[in-house]
Chains A and B, each alone.
Chain A
């Protein structure tokens, strides 16, 4: 990698190379600015203006934000969607991450066929979300779907329902499908965390006679603090920006009767218009995007801060 000094050129010392180093992040910064910083700033700017379709109107201060929080139907839609996002987060934490940890732990303890299961649980992740949505729509179809057919076959006819058309089951169904999709990914993160626990610690615990749940609670979990936090933050972000699956399965209004409406779906519908001739209003949509960004950024930041605090304490 050493440069050969060219004839006639003064022997260079390391200074220009030192400066060159500062140029290396430029492409990254450019990309970051163009695709991350610019859209965020643009959304914020848009949110301060009045919009007529795609035409920017006059500056109107925080009017869009005020309308979002005080005017119907935005006000009702916002809080309902926020509640759904929270529910999404809780279910993913309990079901998705609970199962992901269980699977990771089994693979870590090297059960028979561990590597097969590792691949098998990661497989859904390779599908496109649209395909996942389509697949589960077929499975859950009340008329021809396999789930209701199986229930009828085993004599549980009374349990059959219009899964995705029933407000009592629709949101849970969508969240669980997303968990099914994402579980392999979280399993891998947790597995990596498990594998980073020093072998001596596990050995020592075993010599002390610590096994089973006690081993997990007193040794494994405390040693896994950091990967756990990463999983929690990622789950939080995932559940607050969830969009594709609901859009693919339940349309732009979070059908039925807004029972699967999430903040990002509400944003899409408000900014770009729904499927029934709504023209959309970019101003309020952008205001909502800014609020959504703030929720995710602030809560994630607080969480990470708390973690750092705990680490150093």
Chain B
């Protein structure tokens, strides 16, 4: 009897402990972060700790923040950066909880466009319209981190861009040149096909890949002024020019690998990296993974060529996040200094060099030829990645509607006209 009694006591205690720890889990982790903060501050009284939270949690990122610390201290020696990464898939949830419980970091890595606007509109962020150095960015780039009130809340930190990547060895073998027009591009694809090389690595199993690739070629078909016209309400997603951009993606189908319906980004990467395909329409951020699969591969990049000779080629770019200041931060002054540093060429070069990403800050370079080439194309021919910059609202978002519908199109369940009509229907639910 005694044994049973004591066992039930143990169980009860355990249950209570579980319940308490479940409720208090958040406090626990905050406690430890806070103590490390005071630890940093205690070493020297003049030092100010600025915490930064981000969804970029890779090891290379840890290294990047160490570099940032060193560079920053050249101009602001008193600032200590406390980098608090959160797993990408859990970042939004964790940030929302931290903001609503007033435990968020001083500097917040904002997801771009609509997602950032939501946080700004909820009044969690400090406007930074008067921040020194903001004028290095284009108005387009600044839009990635504005509230509905039109105020600036974040400093754009890196550009993503989509263009055509190609295998230089394969191009050399068949004596191919970077195409100057869309027709040349198609002819080039035909040549590869007739030589039993898959022209384009492609797969429609994952929706996001489809909007990415559509986004890359679309500006050449709906025209460089379509986004503006759409925003002014002068054009719609079911307008002929938008439909033709969807038809253009569909028209590439003969150049895709067999059974592309079942291929995901992993497969696309493998097909391109192993030389089975000559080209891929892809984001700059895939290059590192492709090179990891095959360090020998020589990759070149070109902008999507114009349909009409003489028109400008295009690459689609978007700001992949910005840094904003938490409205309830205790260290706003120091946080502003960090943000000011994030507008300098030193910072831009660091982004370019260590993340291999184009930086929105003009005039920076690295010794990586491909990164420089892409960076150059992005600044010369950049067009907004419409689905991310403007169609990322609604529930489900118009972007994710487009993705699933494009998948349907490649499964012959929808025509390009139906896709266009459906995405316009989705936009109607939120776009005014």
Q: What residues make up the interface of A, taking CB atoms closer than 8 Å to B?
A: 1, 3, 17, 20, 23-24, 26-27, 30-31, 34, 52-55, 73, 140-144, 148, 160-167, 251, 253, 255-258, 269, 272-281
Contact = CB atoms under 8 A, between A and B. Distances in A.
B90 to A, nearest CB: 10
A159 to B, nearest CB: 12
Nearest to A24: B8
Given A54-B100, A143-B258, A276-B207, 10 more contacts: A20-B1, A26-B8, A27-B11, A27-B12, A55-B100, A143-B271, A160-B259, A255-B206, A256-B261, A277-B115
B211 interface: yes
A26 B93 CA distance: 34
Given A274-B396, A276-B399, A279-B395, A257 B11 contact: no
Contacts of B59: none
B6 to A, nearest CB: 12
Contact of A142 (B11, B211, B263, B270): B263
A30 B403 CA distance: 45
List 8 tightest A-B contacts by C-beta distance, closest first. A162-B262, A165-B262, A142-B259, A165-B261, A276-B400, A27-B11, A162-B259, A142-B262
Nearest to A258: B404
Interface in B173-223: 203-208, 211
21 contacts: A53-B122, A55-B96, A73-B401, A140-B262, A141-B262, A142-B259, A143-B263, A143-B267, A162-B263, A165-B203, A165-B261, A165-B262, A165-B263, A167-B413, A251-B207, A256-B205, A257-B408, A272-B93, A277-B111, A277-B114, A279-B395
A31 B261 CA distance: 46
Contacts of B396: 73, 269, 274, 276, 278
Given A141-B267, A165-B261, A255-B407, A3 B8 contact: no
B411 to A, nearest CB: 5
B424 interface: no
Given A142-B263, A277-B114, A277-B392, A27 B8 contact: yes
Contacts, number: 133
A165 B270 CA distance: 17
B5 A20 contact: yes
Given A162-B261, A165-B263, A166-B261, A274 B400 contact: yes
A279 B118 contact: yes
B15 interface: yes
B397 A54 contact: no
B165 to A, nearest CB: 19
Given A54-B96, A164-B205, A277-B115, A17 B1 contact: yes
Contacts of B270: 143-144
A165 B400 contact: no
Contacts of B413: 167, 257
Given A24-B8, A27-B12, A143 B205 contact: no
Given A73-B396, A257-B413, A24 B4 contact: yes
B259 A277 contact: no
A165 B404 contact: no
A163 B205 CA distance: 11
A148 B259 CA distance: 11
A53 B260 contact: no
A1 B5 CA distance: 12
A161 B404 CA distance: 20
B395 A256 contact: no
A277 B262 contact: no
Contacts of A73: 396, 401
Contact of B397 (A53, A148, A162, A278): A278
A73 B100 CA distance: 30
A272 B91 CA distance: 12
Contact of B259 (A27, A161, A257, A269): A161
Nearest to B392: A277
